[in-house]
Every structure is written in C-alpha cells, then in structure tokens.
Structure 1
Amino acid sequence: MIDDIRKLRNIGISAHIDAGKTSITERILYYTRRIHAIHEVRGKDGVGATMDSMELEKERGITIASACTYCNWKDHAINIIDTPGHVDFTIEVERSLRVLDGAILVLCAVAGVQSQSITVDRQMQRYQVPRIAFVNKCDRAGASPFKVMRQLREKLNHNAVAMQIPLSLEKDHRGIIDLVTMKAVTFEGEYGDEVVEREIPPELLDEALEKREEMLDAVSYFSDELTEAILEDQVTEELIYDAVRRGTLELKLTPVFMGSAYKNKGIQCLLDAVTRYLPSPLDIKNSALDIDRDEAEVELVPDPKKPLVALAFKLEAGRYGQLTYIRIYQGKIEKGDTIVNSRTGQKVKVGRIVRMHADQMEDIEGAGAGDIIGLFGIDCFSGDTFTDGTVNYTLTSIHVPSPVISLSIKPKDSDSKKNLSKALQRFAKEDPTFRTYMDHETKETIISGMGELHLEVYLERMKREYGVRAEAGKPKVAYRETISRRADFDYTHK
C-alpha cells in the first residue's frame, strides 16, 4: 500500500495514431528500471514493446487494448495506462480517462493536432482531466514544435505554454533547453541514460530568454507571489513550479514539453513534469451518488480509513479467469475482505489481488485509496461500483458511444457454431462498444462495433482464441438521412 498518497500519480498517455504513445511508455519503464531493455513497436528483434503484449498488437504495430503498469520515479509512485490511438478502440481511452487523475497528450512535431487528438482532448474535457502536452518526434524532417503549439491554441483552445525549447531540430536534435532552470539538457549514452546539464549555447540564448519571458507572462496569471517576484526580479524555480501546477490543476494551462522518444531525448524531463505538475488523488474531487438518499451527491475522500468505494473499469479474460481492473477512490481492499457490488447487491470475497505490468502481474496483499489494481474471481460488468457494504454508493458510469458499423457472421462448421456464442458473449462483456444480436428477418448473427478495424480484430481473435472459422458479410454503416440544403422544384399534381 502506498504510504504517502501525495506522491502517487495515476496518468494516461493518449494521442492520435502513431504519435509515439507506446514508445514513450517503453522509455518511461526503462528509465524507471521496470524493464532492462528497450524494444520498439515494430522492432527488428521481433520482441515488440512491453505494453503491446497481445500477438495482434505486435503483428500490426498498433495498440488495441489499453495496458496498465506502474513504476517509481524520484520517490513518486506512478500508475500508467497506455491507450490505443485508433478511433475504433475509443472505449479503451474512455474508460481509462474515467479513472485517471492526469494525462499526457502526445502530439507529433510534424503532423501536429490530428483528428484523434481532438477526440482524445474532448474525452479529457468530459472527465475534467488535467494534462500536460509532449511534442514528440522532434528529430523528424519537418518538425516544428511551435507550429504544434499554435494548433493547440487554435484547434483545441488550450492555453499552451512552452516549458522548454528544442536544442536543434530534425537530424541535429540533441536535447532541450529548460526555460525554468535556463540550462541546456542533453541525453548521453546509447539509450540516453545520462542527463547532462550545461550552459545554453550562445546562438540560442536570445531565443531562450524571449521564450522564458513569454512563459513567465502566461504562468504569473496563476500566482500573485510570482507576479511580485517578477517585478522585483527575484524569480525562483519553486515559484514557477507552483504557479504552473496551479494552472494545470485548474485546467487553465497546458505546459508543453518536447523531445523524441525514438531517439531517447526528453523523457526524463517529462517524468519530472508528471511528478511536478500532474495531480495526486488528493488534488482531484471525486463524487459518488448515495442510492439510499435519492442519489444525493457525496464527495469521496482518498482516505484508506473511510468506507470502501471502488470502480471496475475494465474486464479481461485472463489465464486464471476473469481479471477485473479496479480503481479505489476511498477506503482500502485487502485479501479476504468481503466487498459488495452496488448494482446487484452481490457479496464477493476478495481472493487474489494483483498489480499489473502489461501482461505480467505481481501479487500484493492489499491496496488503498487512489490505487489501480486487478482482482480475480469477481463476476461483474464494466462500470460496476464496489463498496464494503457499510455504504450504498454508486459511481457515475463510463460514457459508451454507439456502434457505427455492423456485419453478419456465419460459422462454417458445427464446432465453430458452439465456440462462436462463447466468444461473442465474452467480447460483449469485455467491450461495451461491441454488440451482437440475431436479425429475426434474415436469421443471421449480426456484430456491431466502432469501425472496420474494430470488427476485423474481433474476427481475428475469434479465430485465434476460440478456433472459430466464420464467414463475414459485407459491412453496413449506420447512418441517418436528413435534408441538407434547399432545392427548388416544379411539380404539377394531376
């Protein structure tokens, strides 16, 4: 159990497809010593990134299911959820953001703000998640971090403030200039393990001073002490850190960091920013509804001594039965405890508690408020609330978008027919955006989802995990017809 909840961070890494989320998580795990070698998403070694543990993810080089892990950085404990970028797997982002306290919005230095960046940002706003931005791929040809910042302001209405400027771009990208400490930071060694601070090169000093002025101007809005210090020319690093943190927690400021995950530049500074600016569970207001008092709103306190309130946000059929991912908002869970499902009133005894690290797990004795853990042997649905039975609270559930595409599916033989219903039942329970029903007119089994890729992945999983040989029909897109513009016509009724 975590001793000091102020030093706990629950963060998600979200972005458009191929912006570098999984590569960033891989570096974070390497620098925090959770893994001892870096593997690329589409690596030549055939191992694949740690967080992409599903075979399909390794083959396609994409993230399909959100993966959870934890690490420690400078006496802080960090729970990280790496989410998919494809809009087809949007429920994975949705349910991750529901239980997180802060997030890193990753943007490509070349492509900038893209369609899925806008969707992810909208989801972050829905759950009021404070975020910091990381402009990745500064080593690529055409990289322009300040163009990306402009897009953050114009397309997403963020008050984006650069906390760093790049130390050269494209193939010459060596590191960053920290605008708070006014030092040039480079990352030496084969994997960028050595963080070296030196004086700012003379040719970049004027730009650094100008950008620092802009940063102080934007940040001083959140701190009177910093404003006074600027007037008296007595600005300290701590005053800047406090003001940036305050603005970030109020969702009125987005600090922007830069680097290149692939070239191992800027990740340690990003980790410092996570611990410095993103909230601990104590900084976030969470509330539940009291069923016994006409669903009156009750504020939850991240205190292990209070009655237990926890949310099941993700289900997974693992090797040892159903694995339920749970975020504890209040109270604590220990082995042997009896917990109650608020929706069904069913009592369950807690058997095995695990802390997740992608597809690996570590058995633990218990966990307290603010933590994200996995439980085995609990029958429930995604979005169920668990309490210790002394209170009858329910947490607001996860927003589930409606499916947009359907196709018919037909098993090719009798063995496939038996396994098909098992597979469909399991997938529909795990993923609320995956629906299945029988068309009474055609007598066909119909599956619906968020896109062709979404359904394609499930068809492939049916084949691999259940041995289902099925024939899929043509996809049909759900749409509504409406009058879009005025049209003149002459008609004489006879």
Structure 2
Amino acid sequence: MSEPMKQIRNIWISGLLDPSKVRMTERYWLYTGDLEQMEEARKQVLKSEKYYESFVKQESWKSTRRDLNLKEGDSHSHCKWIYNPTSDSIPADVTFFNWRKHYKMSVIDTPACVDFTPEVDNALRAFDAAVLVLSGVDGVQDQSIAVDKQMVTYQLPRLVFIDNLDHKGANLWEVVNQARSKLQHHSAAMQVPIGLEYNFKGLVDLVQLKAYFFHGSNGEKVVVGEVPGYMDALVSGKRRELIKTVSEVDDKLAEAFGGDKPISAADLEEAVRRTTIARKFIPVFMGSAFKYKVPVELP
C-alpha cells in the first residue's frame, strides 16, 4: 500500500446480526466511483440470516454453507466466512475504497455473532474508529450493548448509524433516547429524516442545513436541495440540540454558543470532529442500508 499512514483509516462497522454493513460499504464504493452498479443482494441477506440461525442451532458449518449455496464474492464487501474447524473461528476480512481523494478507507468486516467475540477482539487492535449500527425498529439490543462495550474497551472513537428507517414501525427518536439511556452515550442527531417508513425519501444535514433526496430504485441518485419548508421548525430545534450537546464537552463551541452570533457550519463541523476523536461525543447518523439510502458524509 503506497499511501502514507496518515491517509489510511481502519473502520469497524458492527452492531446488528444482519449484513447492513455490507450494504453500507457498497454504497460508499458507488459514491466514490469504485462500483458502477449496485449488487442485488437481497437473496444474500436472507442467506446470511439463515446462516447465523444455523450456527445457533449448532448445525454443520460445511453442510449449511453447501445447502445455502454460499460462496466467496456474493457481494463486493461481504465477509468471506471461511470456517476454521480446528479453532471454531471465522477470520475477519478487509475491503478498501478511496474517499475524497485524500484517504484510503479500510473497512474491516468481522463476524457479527457474539459467539465470535475472540475474533472480533483480535481485529479491534487494528481499528482507528467504529460505527455502531442500531435498528430504527428494534432499538438497542443485547448485541448492541455487547459491541458498544468492546468499542469502549478499546477506546475507539465511534458514531452511531440508525438503520431501517424505511421499515414499518421505525421510531428514530426513541432509539436516539435509548442510546443515551442504555448505552450512556453523550450523543445527538446529525441529521433529520425526510419521512419515515414507506415515505422515507431523504435526509437533512443539520450541520450544512442541506437536504439530500434519494432517487432511483436503489437510491443510487442523490439530489441535494433546500430543506422542505414544513421541516423548518424541527430542523431548527434539532440543530440547536446538536450545538448544545456538543458545546457541553467543547469549550470553544460553548463560548461561541453563548454569544450573539449564529454558529457557522464550519465551526460546528470542527467541534463535532474534535469531540468525536476525543471520545467525548458520539454523532448519530441514520438511513436505510438495505435500500442503500445512507448518508453521503458518514465516513
């Protein structure tokens, strides 16, 4: 790898017992131009769920792999799931993409099942940061708590991605509150969704105050526009909440927040970056990995 070390970022995405991280990684390949057309992975998602269920039932790994017709490369970024019968383990896998011409992003894919905690612990030593994926429907689960504890143990700067906003019963703000109460996160939303469940159409960036609309069958076309007028009050309130939460752990932003001048996007972005790296603040992003509707600015 020819890139200087300072341009390389090793990222861990985990938290749900489903292949959401696969979809998220492929979406960023599409954003960067490394992938021209999205993989159709719906069948692979179902295979993955059955694969984990078979492990819980202690069925044969080899027969399960054969019966489900699992093979390496079913999606561009999927963990290769190579079972080692001598150690009852599955090793981590690494995929790469370039981001904004400045960074080489390495996404390290580890088995999501809690039964592979030793494999995850071994891989954690290589991470620079982590993304904790929570379900917008089910909220904070036992798996979420276990993974978050691992991130804390290894002192990883992290952010939260709330998935499944397109699903029936999605309750975004309840999940945000659960992350604060059950995981003790000092966090705030970085975005506001434009619609929920079947009406989920896009996201409003609370830092830049821009709206991102997802178009196309797979949300592959992202259109940047103005914030819908009917959302002005909600967006204003959530942006103020974001600024207040960050200012509680950042003196520089707190000083600006107490003044008469409005907080600029640049000042807020820098404060979020400082406090996230210092592990004092956890930004919350959102979307639908299954529908490839994920934030452009997540990395």
What is the TM-score normalised by the length of structure 2? 0.81
Tell me what 2:20 maps to.
20
Letter in 2 for 1:151: Q
Structure 1 residues 98 and 256, CA, compared in 2 at 3 Å: closer, same or farther? same
Query: Does the residue aligned with 2:222 lie in a helix, a strand or coil?
Result: strand
How far did 1:81 drift? 0.5
Tell me what 2:203 maps to.
176
Structure 1 residues 155 and 176, CA, compared in 2 at 3 Å: closer, same or farther? same
Query: Does the residue aligned with 1:211 lie in a helix, a strand or coil?
Result: helix
Structure 1 residues 19 and 106, CA, compared in 2 at 3 Å: closer, same or farther? farther
- Identity, % of aligned positions: 39
Q: Which runs of 5+ in 1 are unaligned?
A: 58-62, 275-494
Structure 1 residues 224 and 131, CA, compared in 2 at 3 Å: closer, same or farther? same
Query: Would the aligned equivalents of 1:65 and 1:89 in 2 still touch at CA under 8 Å?
Result: no
Query: Would the aligned equivalents of 1:12 and 1:82 in 2 still touch at CA under 8 Å?
Result: yes
Structure 1 residues 91 and 168, CA, compared in 2 at 3 Å: closer, same or farther? same
Say whether residues 1:130 and 2:157 are aligned partners.
yes
Say whether residues 1:71 and 2:97 are aligned partners.
yes
Instruction: Please list every run of at least 4 consecutive aligned residues from structure 1 whose deviation after the TM superposition is greater than 6 angstroms.
Output: none
**Distance in 2, Cα, partners of 1:165 & 1:65:** 37
How far did 1:175 drift? 1.0
Query: Does the residue aligned with 1:257 lie in a helix, a strand or coil?
Result: strand
Letter in 2 for 1:17: L
Letter in 1 for 2:157: P
What is the TM-score normalised by the length of structure 1? 0.50
Of Structure 1 and Structure 2, which has the larger fraction of its residues in helix? Answer: 2
User: For 1:466-477, what aligned pairs fall within 5 Å after superposition?
Assistant: none
**Distance in 2, Cα, partners of 1:98 & 1:26:** 24
**Distance in 1, Cα, partners of 2:152 & 2:278:** 12
Per-residue Cα deviation, 1:352-377 (whole angstroms, up to 9, x for no partner): xxxxxxxxxxxxxxxxxxxxxxxxxx
How far did 1:56 drift? 7.5
User: For 1:171-250, what aligned pairs fall within 5 Å after superposition?
Assistant: 171-230=198-257, 231-250=259-278
Say whether residues 1:52 and 2:78 are aligned partners.
yes
Structure 1 residues 92 and 35, CA, compared in 2 at 3 Å: closer, same or farther? farther
**Distance in 2, Cα, partners of 1:53 & 1:79:** 13
Structure 1 residues 224 and 2, CA, compared in 2 at 3 Å: closer, same or farther? farther
Query: Would the aligned equivalents of 2:287 and 2:295 in 1 still touch at CA under 8 Å?
Result: yes
Q: Which has the larger radius of gyration?
A: 1
Of Structure 1 and Structure 2, which has the larger fraction of its residues in strand? Answer: 1
Structure 1 residues 91 and 38, CA, compared in 2 at 3 Å: closer, same or farther? farther
How far did 1:48 drift? 2.7
User: For 1:49-448, what aligned pairs fall within 5 Å after superposition?
Assistant: 49-52=75-78, 54=80, 65-75=91-101, 76-230=103-257, 231-270=259-298, 274=299
Query: Would the aligned equivalents of 2:215 and 2:223 in 1 still touch at CA under 8 Å?
Result: yes
Query: Would the aligned equivalents of 1:259 and 1:266 in 2 still touch at CA under 8 Å?
Result: yes
Query: Would the aligned equivalents of 1:248 and 1:255 in 2 still touch at CA under 8 Å?
Result: yes
Q: How many residues align?
A: 266
Query: Does the residue aligned with 2:75 lie in a helix, a strand or coil?
Result: coil
Query: Does the residue aligned with 2:125 lie in a helix, a strand or coil?
Result: helix
Q: Which runs of 5+ in 2 are unaligned?
A: 47-68, 84-88
How far did 1:202 drift? 1.8
How far did 1:64 drift? 5.1
**Distance in 2, Cα, partners of 1:99 & 1:162:** 28
How far did 1:41 drift? 5.6
Per-residue Cα deviation, 1:155-188 (whole angstroms, up to 9, x for no partner): 1111121000111100000111111111211122
